[in-house]
Amino acid sequence: MEMSHQGGAEAESLLRPDQRSAVVTSQGTRSGRWDVGENEKLPFLRNEPVKLTPAWEGSNLPNDTLNLKGIAMDLAPPKDKWNLIFLTLILHGLGTLTAWNMFITAKDYFVVYKLANAPFYAKGFLPYVGWACQTPNLLFSWFNVFVKIGGNLTTRIVWSLIMEVLVFVVTVILAMVDSSEWPVTFFWITVVSVFILNAFNAVFQNSVYGVAARLPPQYTGAVVLGSNICGTLVVLLNWLSETFTSSYRTSAIYYFIGGMFVLLICFDTYFALPLNRFYRYHETLQERTMRVNPALAATANQNANPAKQRPPYGTIFKQSWVQLYNVFIVFFVTLAIFPEVHSNIKPITPDFLGHNFTKLTCFLTFNLTAMIGNLTASCWQFPGPRWLSIFTTMRLAFIPLFLVCNFIPTERTLPVLVRNDWLYWLLAVILGWSSGHGSSLGMMYVSGTVAPEHASTAGMIGGAMLVTGIVAGITFSSICRTLVSLDVWRSL
């Protein structure tokens, strides 16, 4: 009876809700989870649906750790389908130099048509416009690196594009009106407009490089590629507008409207970036790195509160100074020659290419070969980061080589040594290709020399060094007329 009573009690206990997970062995002993609490729930043995409480996601783990879709993306990162993001950054690279290329390529419109009654200002048009374009670009680029302008990258890009479009509207209106009675006033209005235009373009350019730095290195190269494509497209646009219109006035109206259209496309496509899985994936990677690395998170939040920890600029410069030098020297040499010296070189043979000599050998050749150089850099990373400085320093030889071409033949006292038009054109081809190839490699290598969390800042510093090289080159080009016209050369 005692055994029977004990067995009955044990069987009864198996039916109790708080002990259903126990197992009775053949010897009558109990094993498993027998000592459970009265309040412990055992949902897996019930017939009721499982209820998920907020505690299911109440851990301190990052959201993407709990997100199985995010884990799957880690195992198989999304690809840039149809290269949409690459093409979008090419377009934005094109937009970063639209303003600069539009004004320097329309040289005949300003010099021959609008400033015909002001020869002094016509003669100095390119240097003035160069300084007006690049001085605000220089100031704002460095200001944007060290002092964060309020708002995130989206705010900067959107408002800078809006202001650029408005300035282009003013430029189109100026093309419509007759300014022959006030050419000097027109000149200064143009210079001020260019200054304002490029002040906002500086913010846009550096923000685009900051966006590209979050992605793999070739996407920074896409921005540089777009900037080089810009020159070629602007030259073709200028050529078409002059070919299919009957006057400088009509040509300029269509020409500048075309530039405004490019900026509007940049505006629209920027908002399409977050819709792309590839772009969102790399944004998620950056956010994850920020959660893991508190120092990076503090750096990224500077826009909201500049008093927080700032990027280690000293470390970034120390790690990337060689590539920053490469970026600077490439653009210094290029802008020392193009467009001021390059566009004022005349043919040795008078009928060589006719009236298209400058358009073909200068603007089209430089921009087209620079674009090709950018493409070769994407496919062929040579020289590597260690030897690129030799390649870029060797380009300094282009400055004296172009000065001994037929530059300003009516004013120069320095003898012309390059007396073959084909040889000059070959120099132009090499100049353009080496500019595109070297600048693209330099910008790609800059972000790769620092830790991933500092890549965006390094990319922005690289953009600022790019503009510094441009301004230094433009400044040097302004004294080239004087250099080849010194009296000391008369004795040679």
Say if 28 falls within a structural domain.
yes
* DSSP label of 364: I
Say if 290 falls within a structural domain.
no
Mean pLDDT score, 317-335:
95
Is residue 230 domain-shared with residue 351, that is, in the same domain? no
Is residue 254 domain-shared with residue 318, that is, in the same domain? no
* DSSP label of 35: S
Helix (H, G, I), strand (E, B) or coil at 36: coil
Is residue 215 domain-shared with residue 332, that is, in the same domain? no
Say if 22 falls within a structural domain.
yes
Burial group, residue 424, by CB count within 10 angstroms (0-12, 13-18, 19+):
buried
Is residue 345 domain-shared with residue 438, that is, in the same domain? yes
Is residue 336 domain-shared with residue 413, that is, in the same domain? yes
Are 222 and 212 in contact, with CB atoms under 8 Å apart?
Answer: yes
Nearest partner of 265 among 418, 90, 40, judged by Cα: 90
Say if 47 falls within a structural domain.
yes
**How many CB atoms lie under 10 A from the CB of residue 175?**
22
Is residue 338 domain-shared with residue 467, that is, in the same domain? yes
Say if 128 falls within a structural domain.
yes
Q: Which residue has the tokens 């007006």?
A: 132
Angular region, 407: left φ>0, alpha ψ -120 to 50, beta rest: beta
Q: Which residues contact 323 (CB under 8 A, 6 or more apart)?
A: 385, 388, 442, 445, 446, 449, 462
Nearest partner of 178 among 243, 113, 242, judged by Cα: 113
pLDDT in tens, 341-392: 999 999 999 889 888 899 899 999 998 998 899 889 888 888 999 999 999 9
When pLDDT is cut at 50, 70 and 90, the band that residue 207 belongs to is confident
Angle, helices 455-477/183-212, rounded to nearest 10 degrees: 150
Looking at the DSSP bridge assignments, the partners of residue 31 are 23
Is residue 258 domain-shared with residue 342, that is, in the same domain? no
Is residue 406 domain-shared with residue 454, that is, in the same domain? yes
Pick the more confident residue, 110 or 8: 110
Say if 358 falls within a structural domain.
yes
What residues make up the domain containing 480?
311-492
Is residue 340 domain-shared with residue 486, that is, in the same domain? yes
Q: How many domains does the chain have?
A: 3
Say if 448 falls within a structural domain.
yes
Is residue 172 domain-shared with residue 265, that is, in the same domain? yes
**CATH number for 270:** 1.20.1250
Say if 76 falls within a structural domain.
no
**How many CB atoms lie under 10 A from the CB of residue 241?**
21
Residue 395 has pLDDT above 60, yes or no: yes
Q: Which amino acid is at 102?
A: M
Is residue 25 domain-shared with residue 94, that is, in the same domain? no
pLDDT in tens, 173-183: 999 999 989 99
pTM for the model stands at: 0.70
Nearest partner of 458 among 145, 226, 216, judged by Cα: 145
